[in-house]
Amino acid sequence: MTSPTLSPPSFTADHHQPPSVRVENLSLRYGRKMAFANVDAQFRAGQITALIGPSGCGKTSFLSCLNRLHELTPKAQLSGQVYLNNCDTATIPLTPLRRQVGMLFQKPNPFPLSIYRNLAFPLKEHGICDRTLIHHIIETTLTDVGLWAEVKNRLKAPALSLSGGQQQRLCLARALALKPRVLLMDEPCSALDPLSSEVIEDLILRLKGTYTILIVTHNLGQASRIADDVAFFWVQHDVGQLVEFGPAKDIFAHPKDPLTAAYVSGRRG
Amino acid sequence: MVRRLAIPFGKEQGATLMVWLVALGITVLFLWLLSDVIWQGGQAINGAFLTQAPIKAGLEGGIAPILVSTGLVLGVCMGVSLPLGLGTALFLTEFSPQRSHQAIRLSLDILAGVPSIVFGLFGNAFFSKVLGLGFSILSGGLTLACMVLPILIRSIQVGLVNVPHEYRQAAAALGLSRLGTLKTLILPAALPGIAVGILLGIGRAIAETAALIFTSGYVDRMPTSLLDSGRVLSIHIFDLAMNIPGGEQNAYGTALVLVILLIVINTLVSWFAERFRQSKLQIL
Amino acid sequence: MSRFKSEATWRVLLQILALCSGAILLLILGFLAWETLPILHTIFLDQFWRDPGWYPSEQAYNLTPMVMGTLGVTVGAVLVATPLGLLSAVFCQYYAPTGVAQLYRRLIELLAGIPSVVYGLWGLVVLVPLIAKVQPPGSSLLAGTLILALMILPTIALVTDASLASLPPSYWHGSAALGLGTWATVQGICLPAIRSGLLTAVMLATARALGETMAVLMVCGNVVQVPDSIFAPVRTLTANIALEMAYALDLHRSALFASGLVLMLVVTGLVVVTDRMTDAPES
């Protein structure tokens, strides 16, 4: 595993180098149930890492620990550390942390507001009040996700009136508008039709280099098309484990672990 | 509902007969009550009844000052209980940690079961005597505010809890403050639920009598300030029926007005509840 | 950042509001206790049931007749209303065609919201004269029992209805496969399955009946006596408070607060027990 040089922790908005994400001995339990245990990994800066594995092996829970979204679940207990570059996320206040680490969910979840307000409301919450600046950011991000041409004439329409694929792109724009440096994606295409899913996939590839991306996917084809690295999770003794982690071509061509080999060739899981 | 084939069998048929008879009996009894109120009340109600002041302790004349007093008592009640209830519900659902506020919850559960006459005793001792408000619309409204608070809080909490979890999750993932999320997303989404709570509170307050006998009092003149004593609809019914010989007719008239108000409130409640359900379905 | 400051301010503000709401119960208990103290300082506790009668002007504070009156109408009302409310819920769930069940449920919901003073009015004008035809004076324990039963019937019917609705349809599939009839299934499977729901309904109804004031005040006749028949007029604790608070002074007032405090403690006990029962996991 190659380790990029670790830059000192710096989280000012203009500094826009994607950080590496490193987890040490990370475990999460919900009450008595262990979601996953003892995960150690370093996800490379600016690269796309796909998290694959069968359902219920803790991939989604793992993702939610990286922006501390697990804290929404009262019973969730985390142990171990998550580092952005060298900075322990437990020491970063929630608001700047979640601004650094954007997230896209399995089901598109725009707010029940207008398209415009969906983007403007989070920006205002993060202290950006200049209207021309807000408008500029909205136009750029919507253009980035290829939605601007489709919605520029109806920015006041409710976001829930958009199609599923459009909603998901809006959610991506909403995350990008805050200029995050890491993007977490929890099966962002699984609720979409194949065409919309292809559009999102292309978008993700375009974001590579600018963001450190971690994507949970059940679609092995997708993982092999877009991922630089692959992390394979499996359930052992009722607890999610990181079984194998490495460059995508190695995992798909020469998996070391027999479980990985069985899974990527479609024999198990 | 599950429908079944009945097997011809004496006990089964007897039971069916019994269940239908009971239901029929209850229906007849309640329809009797309702039609009595509508029939007798309908004869008393006309334009003048709603706009005139009572004459001869209500034997003649109308109920205009009583409607005004009722409105004022309700106004005081909701004006006090709404901010208190909304704040409490928000705190309990959005801000309080899991365990530490069970005391408040328990206290509200018990408060919901306290008999209304006890609220009357308390209101008389605290608002009328200690705070020196005497027999007044203010002390009646404040007493009712204590009484409707648990209902209000419970319905608002249901409204807040039912807001889809996805909104909170998405807002948290964007690093938005709780306050901003609350104001922009959660409160608007919970609005129909809050409306149901307010209406249920008004419904309970408007039907109340015992808590008001010795807080807002009996005076049937048009109130000129909140410190005046004011007679509400339900007390007017009670007084006409019990203390004024021949007052039944106008008691029924007043009762009909009260029942119509309650039916309007009930209809609004189910309308809002239905809208709430539909807006949820639309999102999910 | 000012944003965090304002959030903290709001949090504190909401917490204060919540504490105020929570404190109301303590305030009520405190005031009832405070107003009760004078009489507890003056007389012995057993005078509440040993005194020759209820003559507050002569320092005789025997509450027995009122306690008997309250118990009489409450027990009677619960005994009458429970089977009727139960059957009414069974009718809604299993016997009535869907449309009829909906209408019937609407009617019951409507009646649950009718103010007690309207029940009292109807009882006074219609029911009392009817009873007087059988046995004067009409205003009686029986009238109070029947009106109260009518008032708590919707509570029992609606709570039971909701419990029945929550039963899984698999019960019906199971009993249908065994060839059991509707009533056999209701009696043998459904009713035992909702025992705790039914108990909750009865407890809630009992609490409501104990605390009810206006309806019983209007139809019971309000004579201070231990009733010797169901046609005898009685006075309940609540009616006693409502009738005498307006002019009661000093120890008399204090005695009324004492009866209010007892009433509140009993009803509170019922509510807490019901809550615990509902929260406890079904065995």
Q: In what order do the strands lie in the sheet with A182-186?
A: A87-88, A76-84, A21-30, A33-43, A239-247, A229-236, A48-52, A212-216, A182-186, A101-104
To test the contact with chain B by mutation, choose from A109, A124, A185 the residue with the greatest count of B C-beta atoms within 10 A, namely A109
Which chain C residue shows the shortest CA-CA distance from B267?
A: C110
Written as one letter, the residue type at A98 is: R
Minimal C-alpha gap between B97 and chain A (Å): 9
Cβ within 8 Å, pair A95-B173:
no
Rounded-to-integer distance, Cα B13 and Cα B20, Å: 11
- pTM, 2 dp: 0.82
Tell me the pLDDT tens digit for each residue of A8-36.
333 344 456 889 999 999 999 998 889 99
- What phi and psi, each to the nearest 5 degrees, are found at residue B229? -75, 145
Give me the pLDDT at residue A268, please: 61
Is pLDDT at B11 greater than 50 in this prediction?
yes
pLDDT band for position B166 (50/70/90)? confident
Asked if C112 contacts C154 with a C-beta cutoff of 8 angstroms, the reply is yes
Minimal C-alpha gap between B177 and chain A (Å): 7
Picking from C108, C124, C214, the nearest residue to B209 by CB comes out as C214
| Chains in contact with C, counting 3 or more C-beta pairs less than 8 Å apart as contact | A, B
Minimal C-alpha gap between A253 and chain B (Å): 35
Percent helix / strand / coil, chain B, rounded to 5: 75, 0, 25
Inform me whether the C-beta atom of residue B261 falls under 8 Å from chain C C-beta atoms: no
**Helices vs strands, H then E, count in chain B:** 11, 2
Give me the pLDDT at residue A7, please: 36
Inform me whether the C-beta atom of residue C3 falls under 8 Å from chain A C-beta atoms: yes
Tell me the pLDDT tens digit for each residue of A214-258.
999 999 999 999 999 999 999 988 899 999 999 999 999 999 999
**A193-207, B48-62, C99-113: which has the minimum mean pLDDT?**
B48-62
CATH of domain B49-283: 1.10.3720.10
Residues of C with CB below 8 A from A125's CB?
A: 3
User: What stretches of B91-232 show up as alpha helix (H) in DSSP?
Assistant: 102-113, 116-123, 137-161, 165-173, 178-181, 187-206
Angstrom distances, CA of residue A172 to CA of A160, A218, B191? 15, 20, 28
Cβ within 8 Å, pair C214-B90:
no
Give me the pLDDT at residue C42, please: 87
Percent of chain B with pLDDT over 70: 93
Rounded-to-integer distance, Cα C142 and Cα C220, Å: 8
Residues of C with CB below 8 A from B232's CB?
A: none
Rounded-to-integer distance, Cα C74 and Cα C214, Å: 14
pLDDT, mean over chain C: 89
Contacts of C272 (CB under 8 A, 6+ apart): B106, B109, B110
Cβ within 8 Å, pair B104-C153:
no
Rounded-to-integer distance, Cα A232 and Cα A246, Å: 9
Inform me whether the C-beta atom of residue B261 falls under 8 Å from chain A C-beta atoms: no
To test the contact with chain C by mutation, choose from B16, B102, B114, B178 the residue with the greatest count of C C-beta atoms within 10 A, namely B114
Residues 41-100 of C with CB under 8 A from B: 84, 87-88, 90-96, 98
The angle formed by the CA atoms of residues C184, C188 and C192, to the nearest 5 degrees, is 145
Asked if A145 contacts A203 with a C-beta cutoff of 8 angstroms, the reply is yes
Half-sphere exposure of B198 (CA within 13 A, CB side): 17
To test the contact with chain C by mutation, choose from B1, B86, B149, B187 the residue with the greatest count of C C-beta atoms within 10 A, namely B1
Domains identified in chain C and CATH numbers? 65-236 (1.10.3720.10)
Give me the pLDDT at residue C57, please: 83
Segments in chain C below pLDDT 50: 1, 281-283
Give the SS3 label for residue C51: coil
In DSSP terms, A236 is beta-bridged to A239
DSSP B232: -
Is pLDDT at A82 greater than 90 in this prediction?
yes
Q: Which of B66, B84, B31 is nearest to B250 (CA)?
A: B66
pLDDT, mean over chain B: 88
Tell me the pLDDT tens digit for each residue of C204-248.
899 999 999 999 999 999 999 998 889 999 999 999 999 998 888
Tell me the pLDDT tens digit for each residue of A142-166.
998 989 999 999 999 988 899 999 9
Inform me whether the C-beta atom of residue B48 falls under 8 Å from chain C C-beta atoms: no
Rounded-to-integer distance, Cα A213 and Cα A221, Å: 17
Residues of C with CB below 8 A from B178's CB?
A: 7
Minimal C-alpha gap between A1 and chain C (Å): 41
Residues 169-228 of B with CB under 8 A from A: 169-177, 180, 184-185, 188-189
Inform me whether the C-beta atom of residue C275 falls under 8 Å from chain B C-beta atoms: yes
Give me the pLDDT at residue C49, please: 85
To test the contact with chain A by mutation, choose from B93, B161, B174, B186 the residue with the greatest count of A C-beta atoms within 10 A, namely B174
Picking from B121, B149, B237, the nearest residue to C121 by CB comes out as B237
* Start-to-end CA span in chain A (Å): 26
Residues of A with CB below 8 A from B174's CB?
A: 98-99, 102, 122, 125, 174-175, 178
To test the contact with chain B by mutation, choose from C117, C139, C254, C259 the residue with the greatest count of B C-beta atoms within 10 A, namely C117
| Chains in contact with A, counting 3 or more C-beta pairs less than 8 Å apart as contact | B, C
Cβ within 8 Å, pair B112-C242:
no
Which chain C residue shows the shortest CA-CA distance from A125?
A: C3
Annotated domain spans of chain A? 21-109+180-264
Angstrom distances, CA of residue A214 to CA of A5, A96, A228? 19, 19, 10
Annotated domain spans of chain B? 10-44, 49-283
Half-sphere exposure of A40 (CA within 13 A, CB side): 3
Is pLDDT at B255 greater than 80 in this prediction?
yes
| Chains in contact with B, counting 3 or more C-beta pairs less than 8 Å apart as contact | A, C
Which chain A residue shows the shortest CA-CA distance from C1?
A: A127
Which chain A residue shows the shortest CA-CA distance from B172?
A: A69
Mean pLDDT is highest, among A53-62, A100-109, C66-75, for C66-75
Give me the pLDDT at residue A269, please: 54
CATH fold group of domain A21-109+180-264: Rossmann fold (3.40.50)
Give me the pLDDT at residue B17, please: 93
In DSSP terms, A216 is beta-bridged to A51, A186
